[in-house]
Amino acid sequence: MVGVVFATASAEAQPFPAENFGDTTDIPVPADYDGDGITDIAVFRPSTGTWFVRNQFNARWGQNGDVPIPLDRDGDGRPELIVYRPSDGTWYSNNPATGVVESVRWGIASDIPVGRGAYWMSR
Protein backbone atom coordinates (compact mmCIF):
# COMPACT_ATOMS: atom_id res chain seq x y z
CA MET A 1 0.00 0.00 0.00
CA VAL A 2 1.25 3.46 -0.87
CA GLY A 3 0.71 6.70 1.03
CA VAL A 4 -0.65 9.71 -0.83
CA VAL A 5 0.65 13.24 -0.38
CA PHE A 6 -1.56 16.21 -1.25
CA ALA A 7 -0.13 19.62 -2.07
CA THR A 8 -1.68 22.88 -3.06
CA ALA A 9 -0.57 24.21 -6.43
CA SER A 10 -1.73 27.78 -5.88
CA ALA A 11 -3.74 30.06 -3.63
CA GLU A 12 -6.69 29.74 -6.02
CA ALA A 13 -9.42 27.15 -5.59
CA GLN A 14 -7.70 24.50 -7.70
CA PRO A 15 -7.97 20.75 -7.20
CA PHE A 16 -5.17 19.41 -5.03
CA PRO A 17 -2.59 17.43 -6.98
CA ALA A 18 -1.77 14.09 -5.37
CA GLU A 19 1.44 12.12 -5.47
CA ASN A 20 2.02 8.58 -4.30
CA PHE A 21 4.96 8.60 -1.92
CA GLY A 22 5.70 6.27 0.97
CA ASP A 23 3.70 3.55 2.70
CA THR A 24 0.57 3.93 4.78
CA THR A 25 2.55 3.29 7.99
CA ASP A 26 5.16 5.97 7.20
CA ILE A 27 5.28 9.17 9.26
CA PRO A 28 5.31 12.45 7.29
CA VAL A 29 8.43 14.55 8.04
CA PRO A 30 8.21 17.48 5.59
CA ALA A 31 11.00 20.05 5.84
CA ASP A 32 13.37 22.03 3.62
CA TYR A 33 16.07 19.35 3.39
CA ASP A 34 18.14 21.06 0.68
CA GLY A 35 17.87 24.64 1.98
CA ASP A 36 16.19 26.05 -1.15
CA GLY A 37 13.30 27.60 0.80
CA ILE A 38 10.76 25.02 -0.42
CA THR A 39 9.36 22.33 1.84
CA ASP A 40 10.28 18.87 0.54
CA ILE A 41 8.06 15.79 0.65
CA ALA A 42 9.56 13.28 3.06
CA VAL A 43 8.57 10.34 5.26
CA PHE A 44 10.11 8.30 8.05
CA ARG A 45 9.52 4.55 7.90
CA PRO A 46 9.43 3.26 11.50
CA SER A 47 9.72 -0.41 10.52
CA THR A 48 13.21 0.17 9.07
CA GLY A 49 14.26 3.49 10.63
CA THR A 50 14.68 4.97 7.16
CA TRP A 51 14.08 8.58 6.06
CA PHE A 52 12.92 9.01 2.46
CA VAL A 53 13.23 12.52 1.02
CA ARG A 54 11.70 12.69 -2.45
CA ASN A 55 14.22 13.29 -5.24
CA GLN A 56 17.08 13.82 -2.76
CA PHE A 57 18.16 10.99 -0.49
CA ASN A 58 17.26 8.01 1.67
CA ALA A 59 19.00 7.60 5.01
CA ARG A 60 18.77 4.91 7.66
CA TRP A 61 18.68 6.83 10.93
CA GLY A 62 16.52 5.43 13.69
CA GLN A 63 14.70 2.27 14.57
CA ASN A 64 11.18 1.00 15.13
CA GLY A 65 9.59 2.96 17.98
CA ASP A 66 11.61 6.14 17.39
CA VAL A 67 9.84 9.48 16.92
CA PRO A 68 11.29 11.46 13.99
CA ILE A 69 11.75 15.22 14.27
CA PRO A 70 13.55 17.05 11.46
CA LEU A 71 14.96 20.19 13.07
CA ASP A 72 17.55 22.72 11.92
CA ARG A 73 19.75 22.79 15.03
CA ASP A 74 22.81 24.43 13.49
CA GLY A 75 21.02 27.22 11.59
CA ASP A 76 22.27 26.26 8.11
CA GLY A 77 18.74 26.23 6.66
CA ARG A 78 18.59 22.42 6.42
CA PRO A 79 17.24 20.11 9.12
CA GLU A 80 19.24 17.47 10.87
CA LEU A 81 17.69 13.99 11.04
CA ILE A 82 16.67 13.69 14.68
CA VAL A 83 14.87 10.87 16.43
CA TYR A 84 13.72 10.61 20.01
CA ARG A 85 13.91 7.05 21.37
CA PRO A 86 11.31 6.73 24.17
CA SER A 87 12.69 3.33 25.22
CA ASP A 88 15.87 4.94 26.57
CA GLY A 89 14.95 8.67 26.71
CA THR A 90 17.68 9.57 24.22
CA TRP A 91 17.71 12.06 21.32
CA TYR A 92 19.86 11.03 18.34
CA SER A 93 20.89 13.63 15.76
CA ASN A 94 22.52 13.11 12.35
CA ASN A 95 23.53 16.00 10.12
CA PRO A 96 23.48 14.66 6.53
CA ALA A 97 25.40 17.70 5.23
CA THR A 98 28.35 17.41 7.65
CA GLY A 99 28.19 13.83 8.95
CA VAL A 100 28.15 15.05 12.56
CA VAL A 101 26.36 12.57 14.83
CA GLU A 102 25.28 13.42 18.37
CA SER A 103 23.16 11.93 21.13
CA VAL A 104 21.89 13.22 24.44
CA ARG A 105 19.87 11.42 27.07
CA TRP A 106 17.03 13.70 28.12
CA GLY A 107 13.59 12.31 28.75
CA ILE A 108 11.60 9.28 29.87
CA ALA A 109 9.41 6.82 27.98
CA SER A 110 6.16 8.75 28.63
CA ASP A 111 7.53 12.08 27.30
CA ILE A 112 6.18 13.50 24.05
CA PRO A 113 8.96 15.13 22.02
CA VAL A 114 8.31 18.38 20.18
CA GLY A 115 10.40 20.58 17.92
CA ARG A 116 8.28 23.47 16.64
CA GLY A 117 5.41 20.95 16.79
CA ALA A 118 5.69 17.18 16.56
CA TYR A 119 5.42 17.15 12.75
CA TRP A 120 5.47 20.47 10.97
CA MET A 121 5.89 22.22 7.71
CA SER A 122 9.07 24.29 7.52
CA ARG A 123 9.20 27.79 6.02
Residue among 45, 83, 53, 52 at smallest CA distance from 67: 83
Strand-pairing partners, residue 45, are 50
Q: Model confidence at 123, in pLDDT bands (50, 70, 90)? A: very low
Average pLDDT, the chain: 81
Q: In 21-112, where do the E strands start and end?
A: 27-28, 42-45, 50-53, 57-60, 67-68, 81-85, 90-94, 101-105
Average pLDDT value for residue range 79-91: 91
Q: Residue 116 pLDDT > 70, yes or no?
A: no
DSSP 7: -
Give per-residue pLDDT as tens, 8-37: 555 565 666 677 888 889 999 999 999 999
Q: Model confidence at 4, in pLDDT bands (50, 70, 90)? A: low
The H-or-E segment that residue 63 falls in is none
> Which amino acid is it at 47?
S
